[in-house]
Amino acid sequence: MLGQGFVSAAAIAASVLFILSLGGLSNQEKAKRAVWYGIVGMAVAVFFTAFGPGIGGYWWLIPMMIIGAGIGTYMAGKVEMTEMPQLVAALHSFVGLAAVFVAWSADLERRRVLAARAADGVMQEFSAFAALVATKAPDELTFLQIEVVLGIFIGAVTFTGSVIAFGKLAGKVDGKPRQLPGGHLLNAGAAVLSLVLAVLYLNGAGFWTLILLAALAFFIGYHLIMGIGGADMPVVVSMLNSYSGWAAAAIGFTLGNDLLIVTGALVGSSGAILSYIMCKAMNRNFVNVILGGFGGATGPAAEIEGEQVAIDAGGVASALNDADSVVIVPGYGMAVAQAQTAVSDLVRKLRAAGKTVRFGIHPVAGRLPGHMNVLLAEAKVPYDIVLEMDEINDDFASTDVVIVIGSNDIVNPAAEEDPNSPIAGMPVLKVWEAKQVFICKRGQGTGYSGIENPLFFKENSRMFYGDARDSLNTLLPLVD
Amino acid sequence: MRIGAPKETSRGEARVALTPESAQQIQKLGHECLIETGAGLAAGFNDDTYRDAGVTVVDSAEALFEAAEVVIKVREPSEAEAARLREGQTLIAFFWPAQNEALLEACRAQGATVIAMDMVPRISRAQKMDALSSMANIAGYRAVIEAGNNFGRFFTGQVTAAGKVPPAKVLVIGAGVAGLAAIGTATSLGAVVRAFDVRPEVSEQIESMGAEFLFLDFENSQDGSESGGYASPSSPEFREKQLECFREQAPDVDIVITTALIPGRPAPKLWLEDMVAAMKPGSVIVDLAAEKGGNCDLTQPDERIVSDNGVIVVGYTDFPSRMATQSSLLYATNIRHMLTDLTPEKDGVINHNMDDDVIRGATVTHQGDVTFPPPPPKVKAIAAAKPKKKEKEPTPEEKKATEAAAFKAQTKRQVGILAIGGALMLLLGQVAPASFMQHFIVFVLACFIGFQVIWKVSHSLHTPLMAVTNAISGIIILGAILQIGSGSAVVSVLAAISVLIATINIVGGFLVTRRMLAMFQKS
């Protein structure tokens, strides 16, 4: 058995390692080292806590960890990079559920201790967490109750929210926003009811209040995320990421464990910042995204003149052969069509011919922050030619050919030109400034926001219809 | 049909409307070609080269007019030539119908169809027969060559063992085709070129040719698209501003090339006597508008004069003719394209389609009627330039002021947040137990560190960031570990499940992050 001093030292070491791990993600090379900091930090934290004072139940603990590690390894090895968003969402749900269980347990322990106190008035030997609870003063116990309520509520919302997000991202649940009749009033009602239950619980009501509270929070998580469309999932996933952190922090308070608090706070702020970045990239505020739907159009959208002109692979190829500089703008459509390897082959060929080829990535392209980067990295596209929106937006004017693959709203000029457009003011990639734009697209439909894209009607735009992967594969042999 | 090109009769005209090259192309349309003997001599094509190209050489103009069904010429016909036209015959030439009303009437009276090459509308489709542009291009080039011929110095700047040579400074006024050609020629000779035009939308073209656009800060600048791509007269205020700008330039520039023309009007006077007086001796002015009276006060058409202060003013009107071979080649090609449009079936039969915008626009007499002026073309010459919003550069003071205001607002906001946060902490401290406050300090500090660290994460690594935070949030396992040894069975079971799923989270999260990061490769 290790002493309490060891455990505290380990907690400090783990906190520092976690911070270094997140800080190391500032660039690709450092990141490879940073992930090891995280792994070591976690190993230290788990090992020293598990073998710290007053811990028992190893017969449970060790087999569970072995099974869990097995499942985790299997999942991590099997997952496709296009499925990253759903994996992340699924993992969030685990944290949420664990938070609910831990908080429930904490209350059960509290009740056990109180019951023992009331029964004989003398302190009996408690093990594990119960021993800690036994030392708490009455006002500390009240705070513990508040923390339990927070842990359960946040954890439960995270759980069902993540499950639904997972379903939507994996295509198992319809991606369209859907709500029960009553809409957000239902959510508000559930939230008020939860508050009432929390007050009842604090005033000494039974354990059933916590179960009901969890049930209500489960409902809120489910219903809230059901009402959000598939393309807003980057924000939702980052938000759930944030929530899972806050849930961990709340549990940390309950258990009086600083390491949990620190880690939870790190994760929580990380998710919050990611959500903020995503919302900013869509020029929408957080509440608007979470409550769902586009709104606030102030007038009729500007009329679009011109027509969409289609082009075949031969035309695209000859333009590419003549071009010196090419920019590729990928979107969710590339992930759907699994076209990243075809894109990578095209890039390799063009680069071998001495052309400058770069990628322009909009912050909300795909279904997860940074989704496109990971897909392109998987297809072995070097990361130094994959640029952010701000880095590349000024270069479009001097670009010969832009290929837009499966993205729509993020290249919509209406955001800049039409003040009445629902996406007015959203920062977009200014592909239309290039000499020629080819849009690789399945059909004439609109994007997620459901609005017409004037880009497709511009004089320098040509529509290259078809499945992205098939189109690129027919294009490849024609490029020299 | 027989297409015939007579020898040009106007004095000094060296161009010819048919070259051996264009004759071969015209024959492919099913036509026969005739040429008056000696017509191409001045342009460098003798009768034998024509014969080799399958052209019939005719002895006299009379015979040619007699034989040909379509007469192609460079200049408008003389009275004698007009009298030779007959009914059903077609004449293609620069005609200037607005200036030559009597001639127009004469041709109409003869019953001939006249196609004026100067009336070809300025639309994309008709560019290949836009002879005015071809000639203007040559004139612009030649103007620089003439200027260089009269200018006593290099165009390009050099540093030689014998001393430093400054580059010549060239000012081009009017950036039409001729102006742009002049800019291109002068810059490629190495001169420093500035250019001015009343149509601000051409600034891009000017800059693309390598010249500096003299920008005139003036509201209601002209929109060239309204007048078919040509300039229109400017307001007196604008003119004043413009002259002021030129006056400033006059002492500085070595060569001035003026090309300002307004269709159907005398050339605007832009380079006044006092500007000439302000120029350095030995400077050169080439006035491409001399034929229409000249842009410069001192210009004498067809003359080269020297002002009192030694400034040379060149007012030749025959720049294209001075490069007769080149002009003839281009003009003949323009004519050939016109004939191609007139012979859509390539069967040697001319189909004068008056519904065609280009043919209709260029035809000035047809079947005994004067068809000039033509109705406006259906297609606009150039797209209307969208008004570009010019953002005013803020002055340094304004910039400073806005920065200071932003700083102030930020300070105010931060202080406000800190004050509210502080007050909340105080309130919390009143009710919360000491142990809670200790943990709370840790929590707040961790949030701060989190915010600082996460902002630095590169955008491209957001997915790995999510995966790694996901793994780290599996730290909740600690809570379960702390509870798993509890005496209560329910608690133990709940904790055991928590350990299981949290471990999946930790292991899965870290492994998938590693997998992802390993994929990021530098090129």
ipTM for the complex shown: 0.83
Cα B521 off chain centre by: 42
- Domain ends where: B301, B317, B333? B317
- For residue B252, the number of C-alpha atoms closer than 13 Å in the C-beta half-sphere is 11
**In terms of domains, do B166 and B289 share one?**
yes
Contact A274 B465 (CB under 8 A): yes
Token pair in block for residue B37 = 């003997």
**In terms of domains, do B298 and B337 share one?**
no
Measure CB to CB from residue B485 to each of A55, A143, A377 and give the nearest one: A55
Residue B383 maps to a domain = no
Token pair in block for residue A475 = 């294009």
**In terms of domains, do B334 and B464 share one?**
no
Give A380→chain B minimum CA distance, Å: 7
Give B477→chain A minimum CA distance, Å: 8
What are the structural domains, with CATH classification, of chain A? 1-78 (no CATH), 82-291 (no CATH), 310-476 (3.40.50.1220)
**In terms of domains, do B270 and B307 share one?**
yes
Residue B415 maps to a domain = no
Instruction: Indicate the length of chain A as a whole number.
Output: 480
CATH, residue B301: 3.40.50.720
Q: Which residues of B touch A15 (CB under 8 A)?
A: 446
Q: Which residues of A touch B494 (CB under 8 A)?
A: 101-102, 104-105, 108
Q: Hey, which residues 120-139 in chain A have their CB within 8 Å of chain B?
A: 126-130, 132, 137, 139
* Contact call for residues B334 and B129 (beta carbons, < 8 A): yes
Strand partners, B224: none
Residue B380 maps to a domain = no
* Contact call for residues B198 and B270 (beta carbons, < 8 A): no
**In terms of domains, do B298 and B365 share one?**
no
Alpha carbon distance B460, B519 (integer Å): 12
Q: Which residues of B touch A33 (CB under 8 A)?
A: none
Q: Higher confidence at residue A201 or residue A183?
A: A201
The sheet that has A356-361: what strands, in order across it?
A: A386-388, A356-361, A325-330, A401-405, A436-441, A461-465
**Distinct helix (H) and strand (E) counts, chain B:** 18, 17
Q: Is B127 a catalytic residue?
A: yes
Alpha carbon distance A33, A20 (integer Å): 10
DSSP assigned state of A25:
G
Contact B501 A98 (CB under 8 A): yes
Residue B338 maps to a domain = yes
Contact B453 A19 (CB under 8 A): yes
Give the number of other Cβ atoms within 10 Å of residue A247's Cβ.
34
Alpha carbon distance A16, A157 (integer Å): 29
Q: Is A409 a catalytic residue?
A: yes
Closest CA to B365 of B77, B33, B127, B149: B77
Residue B424 maps to a domain = no
Alpha carbon distance A86, A353 (integer Å): 38
* Residue of A12, A36, A42 to mutate, interface with B, max B Cβ within 10 Å: A42
Q: Hey, which residues 77-116 in chain A have their CB within 8 Å of chain B?
A: 77, 79, 81, 84, 87-88, 91-92, 94-95, 97-99, 101-102, 104-106, 108-109, 112
Q: Which of B122, B142, B194, B360 is catalytic?
A: B122
Residue B510 maps to a domain = yes
Q: What is the pLDDT of residues A74-127, one digit of tens each?
A: 988 888 887 888 888 888 899 899 999 988 988 888 888 888 777 765 555 666
**In terms of domains, do B263 and B166 share one?**
yes
Q: Which residues of A touch B487 (CB under 8 A)?
A: 112, 126-127, 130
- Domain ends where: B340, B370, B400? B370
Alpha carbon distance A87, A106 (integer Å): 29
Domain count, chain B: 3
Alpha carbon distance B396, A117 (integer Å): 74
Give the number of other Cβ atoms within 10 Å of residue A352's Cβ.
9
| Cis status, amide bond into A181, omega within 30 of 0 | no
Closest CA to B7 of B26, B28, B50, B31: B50
Please report where in the chains the tokens 């559930």 appear, as a residue: A190
Which of these ranges, A304-318, A370-384, B150-164, B376-390, has the smallest mean pLDDT?
B376-390
Non-local CB neighbours of B445 within 8 Å, separated by 6+ positions: none
Residue B433 maps to a domain = no
* Contact call for residues A194 and A214 (beta carbons, < 8 A): no
Please report where in the chains the tokens 């290929």 appear, as a residue: A403
Contact A79 B512 (CB under 8 A): yes
**In terms of domains, do B109 and B150 share one?**
no
**In terms of domains, do B218 and B312 share one?**
yes
Closest CA to B120 of B228, B266, B7: B228
**In terms of domains, do B270 and B290 share one?**
yes
Q: Where in the sequence is the domain holding B176, given as residue range(s)?
A: 136-317
- Domain ends where: B335, B351, B370? B370
Alpha carbon distance B336, B330 (integer Å): 10
**In terms of domains, do B339 and B294 share one?**
no
* Residue of A91, A133, A142, A384 to mutate, interface with B, max B Cβ within 10 Å: A91
* Contact call for residues A289 and A232 (beta carbons, < 8 A): yes
**In terms of domains, do B275 and B144 share one?**
yes
CA gyration radius, chain A: 26
Contact A22 B432 (CB under 8 A): no
Alpha carbon distance A399, A429 (integer Å): 13
* Contact call for residues A389 and A362 (beta carbons, < 8 A): yes
Contact B473 A73 (CB under 8 A): no
* Contact call for residues B64 and B352 (beta carbons, < 8 A): no
Q: Which residues of B touch A238 (CB under 8 A)?
A: 466
Instruction: Indicate the length of chain B as a whole number.
Output: 523
- For residue A343, the number of C-alpha atoms closer than 13 Å in the C-beta half-sphere is 34
pTM > 0.80? no
Measure CB to CB from residue B511 to each of A23, A76, A260 and give the nearest one: A76
Q: Which of B133, B203, B222, B327 is catalytic?
A: B133
Per-chain mean pLDDT for chain A = 83
Percent of the residues in chain A that have a pLDDT greater than 90, as a whole number: 15
Predicted confidence band of residue A298 (pLDDT cuts 50, 70, 90): very low
| A466 φ/ψ sector (left φ>0, alpha ψ -120 to 50, else beta) | left
Token pair in block for residue A264 = 């939870």
Contact B494 A101 (CB under 8 A): yes
pLDDT tens sequence for chain B (523 residues): 899 999 998 888 899 999 998 998 899 888 999 999 999 999 999 999 999 999 999 999 888 898 999 999 998 888 888 888 888 899 999 988 888 888 888 888 888 899 999 888 877 677 788 888 889 999 999 999 999 999 989 998 888 888 888 999 999 998 888 999 999 999 989 899 999 888 777 888 888 888 888 877 766 555 444 555 566 667 788 888 888 888 988 999 999 999 988 777 788 888 999 999 999 999 999 998 888 888 898 898 888 999 999 999 999 988 888 999 999 999 999 999 898 888 888 888 888 888 888 888 888 888 888 888 888 766 554 444 444 444 556 677 888 888 888 899 999 999 999 999 889 888 888 887 888 888 888 898 999 888 888 888 888 888 888 888 888 888 888 888 888 877 778 888 888 899 999 999 899 999 988 888 888 877 7
The sheet that has B2-5: what strands, in order across it?
A: B56-58, B32-36, B2-5, B70-72, B90-93, B113-116, B363-366, B369-370
**In terms of domains, do B313 and B327 share one?**
no
Closest CA to A65 of B213, B7, B474: B474
Residue B289 maps to a domain = yes
Give B407→chain A minimum CA distance, Å: 22
* Contact call for residues B142 and B320 (beta carbons, < 8 A): yes
